[in-house]
Structure 1
């Protein structure tokens, strides 16, 4: 029985492969471009990027094969990963290892195979970049070298993908990075319009970029080539991953050029990514060679790689065009190139590079290096290179050749990632200091808790990790509450609210929690982070406050009842005294005038006492009785107040036309204006009293002024007049309870406003107050 080959380091190799997280991933254009290029360069109908796990070989990218994987036991690539060089089978039917292989005897009828191992930086062969044909063949040395170079590029892409997923995503438009290409490169959308074109389009066809983008590409195709073009494009709808064809395109001057196209669709958008070459002036004999060289240059330009060769005998240095592009140099003679090349290596990196090259020259070891390229303007590029020594027939090392790649974007991205990683660590540290943090997977299983979480829940880390988050469920909240949380976060929305949880010892605690779902690329949550603060004491305080408010409301009701009883009991004897005095006066119509005056004084004191009782009751109720707001026309209200409290003669009244209509407790604002206007009338000492009611709109407030031309109020009394039972004049001169302004002040301050006085003796008084909008 034939035994399948297994590398000695198979366990470590499989572990290395797993770390790349590449198996069963979606197609990516960077890899598709390489397999297409390998197929083209090697002239084979099939090219695969094959990765081998324990049981199967899986194709990250394929050209010409309709399956995504095959059993490892059938694979040719299992032999390719056993060595470092290209593994080639020229005729599988004549090879005892493969003659009876199902892939040889049946579909896809393999006859030829060549695979370059995909060896990572640790020496593990992850798979191979292979080309396959249905007929026997032999690769040329140039094709083998190109296949190895492309395999090296695959490994670099895999390394980049492993280190920076975002970088891989940014490379989805891999073939767009060819603005400098001399070939015609474009993106055409699914509607058949040019979406993007590169400058070569304008050079070859003569149209401006604006004239081409947004224009149907069929408008430029020669009428005789339309059917052929439609047939080729139609293959893409049948599953072809790439098509190659030629057609004629009309230039702006009316002439036609022959273009050779390679077109691939984007599986996500359906857009066509196209590369065309102008074949009009090419000689037929040079077509294949020029096409191969051009494609190689383009692939290096797209991948930002270059190739080089240095002859140690002649000191001749040869660069590919991609290498020149990376160093931003024009093509130079070998001696000038060597000098220009070294002048652009960062001085701090030059010594290490020389040591690495010298080690390869003496020992023949593989060359690995990286350095910075320093340009005259001070800008930098980061490059990484690999190389191998080559020998003459005498087994003497006579030169070194290799590849170089511009990894500036990747390096800068990694630097940003490192910076962001540090920032995230700092944020996490700050959260751990101040918040209660837990992370669960999509099923609610706890995967992380910080120290604050463990402190408040009284569980250890080992007791929490791997447990359902229901471990702290208090059972306090109804099922609907819990279901609402789950529905909210499962739909990718943030949930915020208060939750009562239970600690390990059975005690309860309250948290204000924000649960944030982490979404994958499909918009589905894959984990949740809960950030909480301990509000147990606040909840207890609120409960105590609610209890106190209930007690306060009860006491207020008792106080109202008490005040009613007291006022009733106080008013009853006052009314009796008043009635008795009136009876005495009626029964003694001829009593002395002095006695009659004393009775009138007695009834006045009784009236004052009753007003005082009413005022005290009214003052005590302000702020304790809820009054609904209503739309109030203040100008209309003031006119009514003036009609009721201001005498018809002896006063001039001015009411501001700008007085607004506002939403307020009408009875309270009416009481304020009535007190102020009646005071202006009561204390006015001028032959013609003047009262002005003015208005001014302030940010966030209404401001009102009640101004009179009375005797004024000395500054020392500006605050005193607002105190309960305080009057400026003796009550024998002006009848007053001393409560009216106290009520006014309390009403205004309860509403969030303020009141103050502007006045001087004999210069009138202005009461100015504000209420919020």
Structure 2
């Protein structure tokens, strides 16, 4: 025996296939059949043996389909000689079983029928499967010459032919039964389209009996207008042996005996004689398609009508429900269920309508609405419903009476509409007031900044004149200095004009985004859409609700206005939580928060922003909308986000849309603030011999600060751009004892400059000198970026006090 696993697997597969082939013959355990008995008798007579068998080898036994000289019908397979014979294709001959080691101890040799001689020819099917043998057995020793072996093999082939013929007859009987009992017509013709078979279903379908049509042309069921095409098609099939209708179900018209025409479904097959490619006959299974066509037409019409009605009802914002004759719901759309606080309308199916209304409302409907409904078939009015949580809901109701006595109910939440209108009006007013305040504040801030720079130059010059006793213009300089002080006071009052006190509270940022999106959605063009990508977990921050809404609304309005209303467009609003170290774009304005932050991303598929215009988009009164824009939207965004200690990053290209990333710190804003230096005691020698960098985009301010600092003994490095200051620090970090910088500068603002400078020298004190000290003194970005702050116009006293405060604060920070 082979130890090869693959060989064993193949043997097992071959045995399973052999047993399947035997089972397909359906011959095991069947009664004796004369034709098989005759072959067994002929074999016994031809070879002069007392025993001859037609033996079939099953899984665990051998069964005899025909037997001569043996009374038993089967034996176990493990004692079978035939089980060995089927292992080869030739006749197996055992001259003397007592001398053959395979069979010497076999009970059929030692006992009845005392086998000595055995010869078995395998029964080999056309598939090559060997299912049994035709064998002859003798009780004496003998041999079998080649001629005899050939004769036994031919007789075995006759057994195989009988088995195949038996299976064919059995299949024909089954086919006949199926054909005669089938509801489909079964029609066969010869190659010339003459009918050779016509079952009972064909008689019923076409009205002709089999005796009337057998031998007739198939033209009797083909309409006149199709006969020529049919004849041409048949000629092509006869010539080529090919038809594109074979194996397909086709629909064609047919004729009944009375001349009426009707549609049929026809599946066609054909057969050949031997290896001839030309068909000798055709068979068709035919089904009357009349009823199906009618049902399909009616079904399609009904389906279309119902689909339209159901679709309209399901997408309706109004609630729609239907009751049966006793008032129980049998249909309800989503809006109706949600109106009463149910997520699934199925929960209400079978419930009585009265369960959804207050007792007073039920009594009123039954007393007032139903009499009118029964008389006129419809009623409309208002009532009070009850939500699942017990809260009341004011509704507008339209009732219609169905023909079977049920109701069709259409409801609308009137209370929700009123509340929504009031809330929208409140939000619009709130945003309008806030926008006005921001506009005034931006205008005031812009004027105050420039005005304070002027005053700084005037007052600084006056201070220099006063400091020189020899100067004859002392009295005039004192007047200039007094006027400058009055102007600074006026500027401070102007700055307070547009400022509002933030009302910081905990805000669910995802909920706020949804609210703002709903405000904007109604103003979108039909081709435009908004996609929300919000996290499942809430992200909360401490901020002013109105300011957050202003930032979101300004960004979304800009995104909407950037898209062509006549072209498809999409706005995507995303929200995610950022932890320290998470990769993200570098802010264009403001700072990336040090701690955890929320990233709000607004993207659009609009016109985008040209590279040369990106640098100025956050400046006040700079708009890309022409006369339709105030130029304050992004300036407001900048002001609010920077005040919160956050930043904004922008990515945009012409014709490829824009993306704005807002970095909003999640840590609560610090309550402390940088002190402004007024009359704080200081040391006159604090800057003597020290090197100080001065950065301001106003040359006059730089000149005044330089002269004041040099007068106090400092060595000054004046810079009009942040990059010059950074280059100086990078060249010699240890040379500089103090950095004094403005905040609002083109390119890099003061907070960014301070951050970059500290990367070059971590212990460098930074003093903010700004025209808006009150505003920046409250900002998170200033608290983290500067050591002290002084306001413009600058006096020598405030400058020295601020410098000393910055140096001391830096030293304390370094000590921690």
| Bin of the TM-score, shorter chain as denominator length | under 0.3
TM normalised by structure 2 equals 0.22
Structure with greater Cα Rg: 2
Considering Cα pairs closer than 8 Å and 6+ residues apart, tell me whether 1 or 2 has the greater RCO: 2
